[in-house]
Structure 1
Amino acid sequence: MTDDGALRDFGAFSAEIGNEYFTSIEKVSPDGHTVTGQFHSETWGNFRTFFRFVPDESGKFRQLDIGQA
């Protein structure tokens, strides 16, 4: 996975997640793989972000990219 373009270990990233969530969804890509909206983090406050899920050949997600939008 990547977080603002930096490679991250998904297991470590998952363990660090606190009470973080989208406060509003602005856009979902037609394929449903990218979500953009306002996000809240107890550490970083409120900001606009995207989550992009990249599927493999079988349709399972192999990559997650998160970043400020």
Structure 2
Amino acid sequence: MNESSINLTGREKDVLKLMIAGYSNPQISEKLLISLSTVKAHVSAIIDKFGVTNRTEVTREAFKRGFIDNDE
């Protein structure tokens, strides 16, 4: 599966980048100026769309599927 097979919204992509960078949900909330519950909803949607069960697996799959470069 590649990036084109997973449709993330723009905001989900923003959240994904911060998740990969190691930000916690409260930190993502503060950085993106959205509520913590909204962050949690985005994280859950991302996990579901990637077909995994946790944030660590999301990071691994994001690299495998071309959402992020090794240089980022």
After TM superposition, is the score higher than 0.5?
Answer: no
Higher helix proportion (structure 1 or 2): 2
TM-score by length of 2: 0.24
The structure with more radius of gyration: 1
Q: Which has the higher contact order (CA 8 A, sep 6+)?
A: 2
